[in-house]
Structures are given as structure tokens and as C-alpha cells.
Structure 1
């Protein structure tokens, strides 16, 4: 009886480790998608961007595997306390990563379809915004691995910087469309890319909220602080 109980406990631990590993793999894939997009922007190489879109199916497959394993753990293993919160949190976090992968793929396809070159200033700004979004994603995945609620909370607060970039770039796109009507199609594409980067940032923030709850059992306020709350100005 004791040996059987130990075997059950070991199986549970192995499955929990597997769940964590799958989350790490999924986050790594989405990080790679964003890295390819940044490389495409830096080198003006649409083929590199398309590599990001081609990874979308692998991201989707990992989401399904994570969800199935999490449900199995909940149904058969009876987890409690922190383990229970972690397993429950993995389902919406995997969904958030899947949506990030979708947005990354959408950006990649948009870059490949553009029939006008992106001006250097706009390309540089997009690259910087993308770099910030990727940095936040990497930090949130590290916070998940280390169960670091303090770092997750810092990422939650830092999302306002992504919004600042998005707002500034959106305003510039609208100005360019007004003054240079021949570039309307180009700037509509840029607006889609900016919006998708903002959405990736939003999902990263949602993951940060889940991590805080997973570790502490407490929820963050429904509204994040805005830039004017701490004196920050748009870039």
C-alpha cells in the first residue's frame, strides 16, 4: 500500500513537472516568433517574418496539450493550495500565449504583404516597441518559472510603457495619413501591427496577474496605473 501511494505521488509530481515544461516550451516558441519579427524589422527581410507565422501551429498544439494535462491533473490528482492555483492558472495562461502567437503571426503576414517600404523612423519605432514587448514576455516567463510575484507585479505596472509607444506611434501614423494620402495603405498596415503588439502586451499583463494570484492567492486591481500617475511621459 505504501509503495502504491509513493508511486501515485511520484506520478503526480512528474505530471506537474511536465505541465511546467510545456508552459516553458510554449512561452519559448512565442518569444522566438517575436524575435523573428524583430529581426525582420531590423533587416527589412519579409522571409524572416514568415518563419514566425509558420510556428503558429506548434503553439496551438502546445496549448491543447497543456489544457488536456491540466484538466487531467485537476480531475485525477486532487491538487491543493499552491499546486491547485498553479494548475488552474496554466489554462488561461496557455490561452494567452496562444493568442500572442496569433498576433505575432498576423504581424508577420502583414509585413510580408506590404507593398511599400516602411520608413526608417517608423521601422525603428516599431522595433523598439517590439523589443519592449518581447522583454516583458521574457520577464513574465521567468517570473512564472521562479514563482516570483514581485517581478510579475512589476511587469503588470510596466505595461503602461507599451501603451505609450502605441499611442505615440498611432498619432504619428494618423498625421502621416492626413499629410501624405498616398501612404494611407502603408500606415493602415502599421496601425494593425501597432495594435497587435499592444494586444501581446495586454496578454503578457494578464499572465502577470495570474502569476501573482498563483503565488499569493490575491488578485491585482482591475485597472492598471496610467502613465500620468507617476510622471512618465510618452517616448
Structure 2
């Protein structure tokens, strides 16, 4: 009996450790994004570059999550909700690792830019980045509290991030056409916009996993269009076709 209790306690401790590793990963990626946003706001590539220095730590945590999850699956025979949680942690850790990679790429791009971002671009990037960071924080909270409703809301809310991406991409392409001497600047800007959008996509993927983890259900392959009417803030309206 005591041996069985010991095994159960070991299993619970390992499951708690898995959750702690996921929380640490999320916290690190959030910090990377915060550093990038500070660098954008201040036109300071050195501040942003600090985000790239944390990438190895994010990678190491992903490996720990995967190793522990596989151990739990192989040795503990989890069932029902625990099984779904352990299985879901592997792709969610992969999503966080990719977010860290994108954040590091943005940081390096900002540090290598030969001229500062124009103020309108900085403001738009800051707002887009704020949304992405907010969604990441909310999905990590939904994961910790096993809140499928919150995860579903984040899954739908990513459309506003996509709208920023579309509007800013169109504006950059127009600026490149009108002012050819700014092409290099806007190529870097397009790179940053795209990477922020990809971080948002991975947050959406995590939201799908949280819903599955809690309910066992999968979300449809495309998001509903109920948020299409949600406007962008003034100055970021999509250009007319």
C-alpha cells in the first residue's frame, strides 16, 4: 500500500513539475517580447537584442518538457484529462520554442537596422506587439487554470493581430513604391511584422491545444468571421482596394 502511495505521489510531483516547466517557458517568452517592445518604443536595438540571449534557455526548457512528458507517458500510464494534458504539453512547448525563435529573429533585425523606425511604424508595431503579448499572457493563464472558454476567446481574437499585419504590410509596400530609398528599412519592417504575426499564430495554436486538453474537443480548422467588423485604431485602417 505504501509503495502504491509513493508511486502516486511521484506521479503527481512529476505532473506538477511539467506544469512548472511550461510556466517557466511562457514567462521567458513573455519577457523576450517585452524586451522587443521596449526596443521598438525606444528605437534601441541593444535593448531588443537582450531577447535573443534568452533563446538558449527557452530551447533547453522545451527539451525538458518533451523528456518529462515522454517519461510520464511511458512509465505512468496517465488517463483521461491527465493524458490529454501531457500529450498537449509537447506541441505547446514546441509552439513556445518557435515564438522564442521569432522573438530572437526580431531582436537581431532591430539591432542591425541602419536607421531608426519612423514614428508611425513604431506606434503601429508597438500596438501589434502589445496585442500579441497580451494574447500570450492570457493563453498561459488559461493553461494554468484549465480555462477552455478563455482559450477559445484568444483563438478568435487573433484576427485583430492579422488585421494589423495586413494593414501594415500594405502600407510598407506602398511606402517602398513611393520612396525607393526606404526599401531596406521597409524590408526589415516587413520581416518584423511577419514574425510578430507568426508569434500570434502560435499563440492561437496553443489556444486550440488548451481547449483540447480541457474538453477533448478540437476547434474547427478556420476561425469564425464574427470579429471581421472589429476596427483598427485610427491611422491603421486597411488601405482601400
TM-score range (shorter-chain normalised) is: over 0.9
CA distance in 2, matches of 1:30, 1:146: 19
Any idea what SS the aligned residue of 2:31 has? helix
Any idea what SS the aligned residue of 1:129 has? helix
Structure 1 segment 41-190 matched on structure 2, within 5 A? 41-190=40-189
CA distance in 2, matches of 1:37, 1:230: 28
Any idea what SS the aligned residue of 1:226 has? coil
1:46 Cα deviation after fit: 1.1
Partner of 2:12: 13
Partner of 2:237: none
1:144 Cα deviation after fit: 0.1
1:117 Cα deviation after fit: 1.2
CA distance in 2, matches of 1:160, 1:226: 8
Aligned residues: 233
Partner of 2:208: 209
CA distance in 1, matches of 2:72, 2:198: 30
Q: Give a deviation string over 1:25-52, Cα, whole Å, max 9, x none.
A: 0000000000000111111111111100
CA distance in 1, matches of 2:188, 2:208: 31
CA distance in 2, matches of 1:121, 1:230: 24
When residues 60 and 186 of structure 1 are mapped into structure 2, their CA distance, relative to the original with a 3 A threshold, is same
TM-score, normalised to structure 1, is 0.97
Partner of 1:38: 37
Q: Give a deviation string over 1:204-225, Cα, whole Å, max 9, x none.
A: 0000000000000100000012
Alignment RMSD: 0.9
